[in-house]
Structure 1
Amino acid sequence: MADRRKVAAVTPASENNQENERQFMDKNNVTGMIKDLLTKIIANRPDDPISFIANYFETMTLDDQSNDLVNRAVQVLNLTHHSRPVFESNMRSAFSILSRYKITKKLHGVNGTVHSLLMQALCKKLPSAVTIRLFKRLECGEYEAVTYDVFRSSVFTCCVLNDYIAMCGNLFDMLDLQKTGKADKNLCEAALEQLRTALASTRTDVKR
């Protein structure tokens, strides 16, 4: 009899605790965040899921200052390679994040200033000689409103250029057989000839 009273006394408290836990989860949208995270993991299929999860939660702790918005947008763009279909969705998310940039007290959006900050962040690993010429082509006026199409074109340009520079670096390392920082001239000319042949063949196939 005493045992039954003890169980009866404990059960309501346990139910209240469970209810409070559910309320806590709902109030802080924990369940929604976890569902969103799992959806993004499945869509992006990252090579390193742990780093992906860490970056996801890091983006949620940033403020709405311009640099933080840019950092958050860059992290979203880096979730997956630009060749994957889900990258389009990530770009829209990044643009939405940058749209919170405060231009005036009542006006928010993506202007030339925040656009330039994003381009600099995306191309920070590129040689300065390359980025200077690139930014001249992609540059928008400081107070110019940047549309999604302009944003999308700029992001793709930066991503493709990053890939190109990385591939060039890898090719140079392969041709630098002695690891002296200088590639053999004959090997370079042979490699360039192979690239020209491949490009010519590709153009012929396209025309067909």
Structure 2
Amino acid sequence: MADRRKPVPSEERIQETDRQFLERTGVGNIVRDVLAKIVANRPADPIDFLATYFVSQEEQSTNVQRACQVIQMTHHSRPVFESNVRVAYDILSKPKTTGPASKVQKKSGLSGAMYTDVLYMLCSDIPTAITSKLMKKIQCFDFEAVPYDVFRSAVFTCCVLQDYVALSAHLFDSLDSQKSGKANKVLCDAVLDQLRTALGSSRNDVKRIMESGYNLGPDGLHLALDRALTRERSNSLQTLDNFVMEACDAFLTKVKKNS
């Protein structure tokens, strides 16, 4: 937030123009900055974006909270996401004063402990069991200095996984025709097989990529479900939690473990 300026006597305030008032208080710069961020990030709910932005600027907000707010300004598919992650990393890597007053030292860099705090905050909407499995792959020791490329990869993985969990829940909902929280296991297994096939595709194999897109499209899923019903009849049911967990297990096999 802008530094507080010395109060101006009421007589002088009467004489100042609107422009001078905005310049004196620093409000103009703040508004221009947040408007620029809205335009760059194109949030789905600009009003909520504004509220979150100003809350994050309060002094009591921690660096972790500020960093997460910057990361979550826009979807990970937008070009500006990369620069937001860089800004977040810089916020977390600010030099910190340590040691007794007589021997003040400056240390900078992102610690493993703070890195972990950020990832857990980004995964707050993901089921705990899934987050725990993810963290076993991308965790760093608390005392480690985390480089930017490791931070960026982990943040991107968390954001993609959040979308993936939502997609899995949506797929299950389409199978739960009775809206009972349970769906036919044969149909669930057919959809999960389609997901595993898609995730198993090589990034460099164009043909496999195209096939994966078809497998997860309406036509591909319909064909898989039709084959499953023709092949086997069963009254076994699967819950939403189990379906999402199995779907995420397939996703996590593609996440590289930090060495």
Q: For 2:192 and 2:18, how far apart are their aligned partners in 1? A: 68
Superposition pairs of residues 168-179 of structure 1, within 5 angstroms: 168-179=168-179
Q: For 2:150 and 2:200, how far apart are their aligned partners in 1? A: 31
Q: For 1:55 and 1:96, how far apart are their aligned partners in 2? A: 20
Contact 2:201 2:209 in 1 (8 A): no
**Counterpart of 1:205 in structure 2: which amino acid?**
K
1:73 maps to 2:75: no
Q: For 1:107 and 1:90, how far apart are their aligned partners in 2? A: 23
1:63 maps to 2:60: yes
Deviations 1:4-62 (A, max 9, x none): xxxxxxxxx7896216972x533543222111111111111111111111111111114
Contact 1:73 1:95 in 2 (8 A): yes
Q: For 1:60 and 1:179, how far apart are their aligned partners in 2? A: 42
> Paired residue for 1:44?
41
Deviation at 1:93, TM superposition (A): 1.4
Deviation at 1:195, TM superposition (A): 4.4
1:26 maps to 2:28: no
> Paired residue for 2:159?
159
> Paired residue for 2:147?
147
Give the match's secondary structure for 1:183.
Answer: strand
Higher alpha-carbon Rg: 1
Percent identity between matched residues is 48
Q: For 2:182 and 2:129, how far apart are their aligned partners in 1? A: 20
> Paired residue for 2:15?
17
1:102 maps to 2:96: yes
Normalized per residue, which structure has more strand?
A: 2
Superposition misfits of 4+ residues, deviation over 3 angstroms = 13-16, 24-28, 192-204
**Counterpart of 2:96 in structure 1: which amino acid?**
K
Q: Structure 1 residues 47-56 or 182-191, which shifts more?
A: 182-191
> Paired residue for 1:130?
130
Q: For 1:178 and 1:20, how far apart are their aligned partners in 2? A: 61
TM-score (norm 2): 0.65
Q: Structure 1 residues 153-162 or 122-131, which shifts more?
A: 122-131
Give the match's secondary structure for 1:63.
Answer: coil
* Residue from 79, 87, 95 that aligns with 2:81: 87
Q: For 1:206 and 1:103, how far apart are their aligned partners in 2? A: 52
Give the alignment's Cα RMSD to 1 decimal.
2.9
Contact 2:64 2:118 in 1 (8 A): yes
Q: For 1:118 and 1:16, how far apart are their aligned partners in 2? A: 47
Deviation at 1:91, TM superposition (A): 0.7
1:117 maps to 2:111: no
What is the number of residues matched between the two proteins? 192
**Counterpart of 1:61 in structure 2: which amino acid?**
E
Contact 1:69 1:101 in 2 (8 A): no
Segments of structure 1 that go 5 or more residues without pairing to the other structure are 1-12
